[in-house]
Amino acid sequence: MAAATIGMVSVLAAGCSSFHSGSSFRAISSTPPASAIELTAPALVTDMGATTTFPVGKYRPKYEDEGGYYYEAPRKVTVDDVGVYGFDGGVYVARGKTAPTRWYLIRPNGRRTTGHFKTTPLYQVIP
């Protein structure tokens, strides 16, 4: 029973946190709304006992999909769970917007996960 419950929770969590499987995540080829998004304070995300920290600095556009642009962090994004791990990742800016309202991580196996910031990080747009 416990194994089935854990399995269902894992499937639901993966479905909620993964990029849309039909999204065409690709290297950037169009013009993003800014040359960089600078976080002026670390952005923290706490979920299920883990704390993910997006570092201060200039995030540069690296990928895009139909909905927006993925700005890569200047350093590894850290996830403090059972241990502390560093991942590639950054912030997501929807097309037509400049606020980084979502985040993303790229795991070593290539799996991409994303989520919404509860509050928009402190940032400034670099034209």
Give the pLDDT of residue 24.
86
pTM of the full predicted structure? 0.81
Quick one: CA dihedral 127, 60, 72, 69, positive or negative?
positive
Residues 11 and 63: their CA atoms lie apart, in Å, by 26
Single-letter amino acid code for the residue at 110: G
pLDDT-derived band at 11, boundaries 50, 70, 90: very low
Instruction: Return d(Cα 108, Cα 91) in angstroms, integer.
Output: 18
Residue found under tokens 């600095």: 57
Average pLDDT over residues 106-119: 93
